[in-house]
Amino acid sequence: MLDVSLLDVIKAQAKIKDQINPTPLLSSPALSEKVGADVWLKVEALQKTGSFKLRGAFTKLFSLSPREREKGVITASAGNHAQGVAYASAHLHISALIVVPKNAPETKKAGIQRFGAQLVEFGDNYDEAEAHAFQLAETTGRTFVHAFEDEQIIAGQGTVGLEILLEQPDFDTLVVPAGGGGLICGVAVAAKAINPDIRVMGIQSHASPPWYYSFREKKIADVTYFDSLADGLHGGISQGNLDLALQVVDDFILVEEAEIAHAMYWLAKEHHFMIEGSGAVGVAALLNGHLNLAGQKVCTILSGSNVDATKLGSIIQKHT
């Protein structure tokens, strides 16, 4: 089982504090009024590379031995994790190879290359790209950097929760987007260690619900996946992350695609934030009353801003 403690998160924070932005924690009067609670937003969308993923990437790369740094790293991703690994690798002068499926969006491939990583296109989906990346790791000696099933990655993502509670330790509930599980497991580890009574709620879409069902069955559940606006949360989870979440996360909630789209529009309208679907799921849950939070002090994490401007523009147009 994965073993991550508050001490690991504190150590991660000490390692990466000069490499990341301490992102804003902002009150949302408009959302507070709608929910009947004191609602705050942790704006990781303003992080370098536009996502919290940079925290885990730097933490992992700082943990490598000199020999591992010399050999370089490899990962499989077409999204925020890939850009985080590419950025951190460039900063630390480590060679990075990123494997993406052939159908990866051009904008995301361009973002990866902008940070200097070597790009390899392989397979028709993520699973095929990941399998190829594991093979390349074996043949090249590069260290594979997993997006979520890694103690260093989890500790790095947990610094989001540490920042929240060091700034304002009196939150009753944290509402966290849940994809592979690196963010919610790290945040929950930190939050529960600081305040055992705090509630940590994970949010997924109905289109990609492995956490919702696996958490209830206490084992990896077989679920059906569909395309989602929250594409950064799309995909399976690991037993290691599930076992950790069962200790520190309170529950998982599902939101509909229409609710995610409305939340993206609402954040642009009310806060002038450009938030990707994966980062807007917490607000979607709050706006649609999926959580009983009346009278509480609540924080949700806006985990990323890497949404195509045309897509967001189309969503805004549909809602105006």
Question: DSSP letters of 205-263?
Answer: ETTB-HHHHHHHHTS---------S-GGG-S---HHHHHHHHHH--EEEEE-HHHHHHH
Looking at residue 283, what is its pLDDT? 98
How do residues 133-142 score in pLDDT, each as one tens digit?
999 999 999 9
| Same domain (yes/no): 81, 220 | no
Sole residue written with tokens 């607000």: 283
> Of 85, 118, 141, at which residue does a domain stop?
141
Residue with tokens 């507070």: 32
Both tokens assigned to 9: 């998160």
263/260 Cα distance (integer angstroms): 5
The mean pLDDT of 43-52, rounded to a whole number, is 96
Q: How many domains does the chain divide into?
A: 2
Q: Is the dihedral of CA 118, 124, 129, 130 positive or negative?
A: positive
Q: What would the two tokens of residue 111 be?
A: 């973002």
Is residue 1 one of the residues assigned to a domain? Answer: no
Q: Would the pTM of this model clear 0.85, i.e. be above it?
A: yes
The one catalytic residue in 208, 278, 303, 305 is 303
Amino acid at 38: D
Instruction: Summarize pLDDT for 144-153 with one digit per residue, the tens.
Output: 999 999 999 9
Asked whether residue 92 falls in the same domain as residue 131, the answer is: yes
Q: Do the domain assignments include residue 310?
A: yes
Confidence band (pLDDT; 50, 70, 90) for 46?
very high
Tell me if residue 89 is catalytic. no
Question: For position 168, what pLDDT does the model report?
Answer: 97
Q: What is the pLDDT of residue 127?
A: 77
Residue 92 is assigned to a structural domain of this protein: yes
Asked if 84 and 118 count as a contact pair (C-beta separation under 8 A), the reply is no
* Better-scored residue on pLDDT, 107 or 4: 4
Task: Tell whether 85 and 230 lie within a shared domain.
Answer: no
Is residue 64 in a domain? Answer: no
Question: Which of 81, 111, 141 is the C-terminal boundary of a domain?
Answer: 141
**Structural domain range at position 210:** 6-52+150-319
97 in a structural domain? yes
Q: How far is CA 304 from the centre of its chain?
A: 8
* In a shared domain, residues 157 and 47: yes
Is the distance from CB of 107 to CB of 80 less than 8 angstroms? no
Q: Does the pLDDT at position 234 exceed 90?
A: no
Question: pLDDT tens, 289-300?
Answer: 999 999 999 999
Name the active-site residue from 53, 60, 108, 192. Answer: 53
| Measured CA distances, 308 to 19, 154, 166, 305 (Å) | 26, 27, 33, 9
Percent of the chain with pLDDT over 90: 87
Range 53-60 average pLDDT: 98
